[in-house]
Amino acid sequence: MPAKPRTLVFLAVLATAACSGSGGGEAASDDGTFKAALLTAGPVSDAGWYAGAYEGLQLLHDSLGAEVSHQQTRTPAEFDEAFLSYASEGYDLIFAHGFEYQDAAIRAGDQFPNTTFVVSGGGRYSSNVVPLIFELEQGSYLAGMVAAGMSRSGILGMVGGVAIPPVEGTFLAFEAGARAVNPDVRVLEAYTGSWDDVAAAKEAAVAQIGRGADVLIHNVDAASFGVFQAVREAAADGRTAWALGMNRDQNDVAPDVILGSATIRIPEAFLETAMAWQNGTLGGAPIYAGAADDVIDFVLNPALADRVPAALVASVDEARASIRSGALEVPRVPFVEGEPGAQ
């Protein structure tokens, strides 16, 4: 294995797109300044998915000297408007952080061939529209192992926002990881229809706890605070209750109840994507970033590490190594154009 597997593997994947790239590498602004923008559908104060993206944008500013800008956009009309505005203003690279942006990005890509659009979790691509696929299911598989190993009831809970393929894939893998530890585990699943509705997420979590779930994971954004609050309240009432973070290291959000987090190194992935654009090797193909690239992982909460049995930690470490080597293939929901099984 190379000394720096994440950097070398990740950039090798990016290089495969060079033959059909969009001609990046030369800043479109009049003064030659590299300009990068970020669109998010929710607040960057969510301590999760959007916060990681905003940190990535700031890393482009700090590391590459990029002129950066961020907009929160909630509707398809706002997606189109923001793409139009940034591309017209000469922004070179626009990160649209979510599956929901893919159609608007394709439309904008057709209209602005000299701008590159990167859609986190997107399923469609063209010469200048690039899906950045975080293989988060690899981290959630490990989270499922921890959940099953720590559960006393044998019942786990999953609270999601909207049932889109990237989220469904993380839950599929979470259940698979749990069953690798306890084949008889029972998994409850709920979708609230919102990424940011804290009250709805808390209500769903309370309902799952009421049905016996004692370890809960989420795949929402700001609504994760509702899940953590429900678990905290259950623990305060004397019940066995644990939570797991997702998308970012959330261990310090509720360190008394979060056992660990399935994490994405979003800032580093954004930086390498921007460097690939500068090198002219970005475009025409999706980017897959996973555990083998050191982009995806599961991070135990150091404040609760002594609560997790050593044998369980060893099993998780072994599974992580197998995922990174390719010996263990984690189940996922295919959704990228051209993937076998993608709808």
Identify the band that residue 201 occupies on the pLDDT scale cut at 50, 70 and 90: very high
CA 220 to CA 38: how far, in whole Å? 19
Percent of the chain with pLDDT over 90: 89
* Averaged pLDDT of the chain: 92
Q: What is the pLDDT of residues 296-306, one digit of tens each?
A: 999 999 999 99
**Cβ–Cβ under 8 Å, residues 163 and 191:** yes
- Where do the H-state alpha helices sit in the chain? 5-15, 49-64, 76-88, 102-111, 137-150, 165-181, 198-210, 224-236, 266-278, 310-325
Rounded to a whole number, what is the distance in angstroms from the first to the last CA of the chain? 34
pLDDT at 80 over 70: yes
pLDDT of 4 higher than 60: no
Local confidence band at 17 (pLDDT 50, 70, 90 cut-offs): very low
Q: What would the mean pLDDT of 198-216 be, rounded to a whole number?
A: 98
pLDDT in tens, 284-299: 999 999 999 999 999 9
| Nearest-angstrom CA–CA distance, 126 and 17 | 11
- Each residue's pLDDT tens digit, 125-162: 999 999 999 999 999 999 999 999 999 999 999 999 99
pLDDT of residue 207: 98
pLDDT digits (tens, 9 = 90+) for 95-128: 999 999 999 999 999 999 999 999 999 999 999 9
> CB within 8 A of 128, min separation 6: which ones?
22, 109, 112, 113, 114, 115, 116, 117, 283
pLDDT at 25: 62
Q: Topology of 5-135+265-293 in CATH?
A: Rossmann fold (3.40.50)
Residue carrying the six token digits 């209750």: 241
CA distance 245 to 248: 7
How many of the other CB atoms lie within 10 Å of CB of 154? 15
Burial of 207 (0-12, 13-18, 19+ CB in 10 A): middle
Q: Domain ranges in the chain? A: 5-135+265-293, 137-263+297-325
CATH, domain range 137-263+297-325: 3.40.50.2300
Query: What is the pTM (predicted TM-score) of this model?
Result: 0.91
Q: 5 or 138, which is more confident?
A: 138
137-263+297-325 and 5-135+265-293 share a CATH fold: yes
Closest listed residue to residue 36, CA positions, set 14, 77, 65, 73 = 65
